[in-house]
Amino acid sequence: NELINKEKPSSAINAARQRLFDLLDKKVDSELLCIVDFPPERLLYSSLLQSTGLHRKGAGGRWLLNAPNGDSPAGIRKVWAELDKQLMIDGQVTFADVISRLALPPLGVRNGPASVWFMVYLLVNKESCAIFERGSLILELTSDHQQRMFRSPHTFSFRRFDIAAERKDLIKDYAKAFGAVGVQLGLNASCLDAARELIRWYGRLPQYSQETLRLTNRTKALRDVIKRATDPVSLLAVDMPRVVMAGKGKDDSSFPDLLAKSLTELGMAYRRLQDEVSFSMAQAFEITGPLKALRSQLQEECADTAQSLAEVDLKAFIMRCSDITLTDDKWMDSIASVVVHRPLDIWKDSDAPIFTESVLELCGRYKRWLRVAMRKGEFERQAQRFVGVTLTLPSGEEAAML
């Protein structure tokens, strides 16, 4: 098809190519990808996918993307073999290199069709083909990635892994360890699948958890190799076992158990910070019990008094303390933002002691204000939990506390 058989297809054909990729993502199990009439993308589909057998009906009558078979033209089988050869090397190959090598004799495939066939190759082999953008593993190939790939072919690289040669016992170890943090691996998962799930889990962690140093040395080392990972197989087979088993000493725990322990510690780092914030609040207000009891008591004591406060920062703090409309996580984040001026999930390690000190100071000011209000006979219900004590020394000096 001369619309696409060019080194530089027109912008209209490039747009049709992207629409074809979108249809492959959403309608791949339908005949003709549910394309009606004859838009440019149907012509591309007919000449590059349908006629080559890359999109054909499989078992059960479903339409699927497949590698070429014996019924496919010899040309597309040679293209596929060349792609296998390029991506199965021990290293990464860029998109620019893939397209350049397909253009060499004896294949001589131009940029237009080569780009479509290579994208189909990635979709067919998505379980075993890792895609990197500027060295970072891509978890899901989106249309935005595809468009950037065509604009900057040197920034995307690929590597395909031999699933059959992978150590299944290693995958079982990771499945056991990942289960401790709620990450599930299928029975037939590959190293690439495991790496994707791990990085996806890590990406969901708050920024605080990704940066805090309040972790054991083993967990910090594990986090560092996950951050720097560029090769899924090396990450799982070499880097993670190395840092997890380093310094094991007399600990006779197995690799999966030690890994699960470190992943749990990393996953719970933010929860420990939340508990620390809750404890600091309880100590400052001298309220015992769980977070629910703390919030209930603060709402009862502070809801009415907040409007009578004149100091802006103290008023804002007390109003946040008495807010019952937020979930526990949102409530603590609200308190953290008003005290430290930074949401809890992006705190630095140095913010925790600042918060504790600031909350004690704010509570002290609140109690001094409440003592004055009590003398005026105001807020009797709020003052029921407090006792005012005044000591008079022989010298006439007085000291008061609430």
Instruction: Determine what percent of the chain is predicted with pLDDT higher than 70.
Output: 96
Enumerate the β-bridge partners of residue 152: none
Select the more confidently predicted residue: 210 or 246: 210
For residue 107, the tally of other CB atoms under 10 A from its CB is 14
Strand 63-65 relative to strand 55-57, pairing: antiparallel
Instruction: Find the angle CA(95)-CA(4)-CA(53) to the nearest 5 degrees.
Output: 80
pLDDT at residue 303, as a whole number: 77
CA angle, corner 373, sides to 368 and 375, nearest 5?
A: 100
- The answer to whether 184 and 225 are in contact (CB under 8 A) is no
Task: Give the mean model confidence (pLDDT) for residues 325-332.
Answer: 93
Given a cut of 80, whether residue 319 has pLDDT beyond it is yes
- Coil, strand, or helix at residue 322? coil
- Convert the pLDDT of each residue in 98-146 to its tens digit: 999 999 999 999 999 999 999 999 999 998 899 999 988 999 999 999 9
- 244-254 tens-digit pLDDT: 998 776 778 89
Q: What is the pLDDT of residue 164?
A: 59
Please determine, for residue 212, whether its predicted confidence score (pLDDT) is greater than 60: yes
Return the exposure string of 297-333: e unless at least 16 CB atoms fall within 10 Å of the residue's CB, then b: bbeebbbebbeebeeeebbbbbbbbbbeeeeeeebbb
Residue 138: DSSP 8-state: P
At residue 186, the pLDDT reads: 82
Residue 241, token pair as written in the block: 């076992």
Q: How far apart are CA 152 and CA 371, in angstroms?
A: 67
Beta carbons of 87 and 79 less than 8 angstroms apart: no
pLDDT confidence of 1, banded at 50, 70, 90? Answer: low
CA 258 to chain centre: 22
Q: How far apart are CA 201 and CA 87, in angstroms?
A: 27
Yes or no: say if 195 and 137 are a contact pair by the CB < 8 Å rule.
yes
Contact 26, 16 (CB under 8 A): no
Average of per-residue pLDDT across 195-214:
96
Residue 13, pLDDT > 90, answer yes
- pLDDT score for 202: 97
Q: Give per-residue pLDDT as tens, 362-384.
A: 998 888 887 777 777 666 666 66
265, 219 Cβ separation under 8 angstroms:
yes
> Distance between CA atoms of 158 and 130, rounded to whole angstroms?
6
Q: What's the pLDDT score for residue 40?
A: 93
Of residues 214 and 322, the one with the higher pLDDT is 214
Residue-level pLDDT at 180: 96
Q: How many CB atoms lie within 10 A of CB 53?
A: 17
* pLDDT one-digit tens code per residue, 140-149: 999 999 999 9
* Residue range 93-97: mean pLDDT, rounded: 97
Cα separation values, 3 from 130, 149, 312, 344, 362, Å: 30, 21, 68, 54, 71
pLDDT for residue 263: 98
The DSSP-derived string for 160-200 is E--GGGS-HHHHHHHHHHHHTTT----TT--HHHHHHHHHH
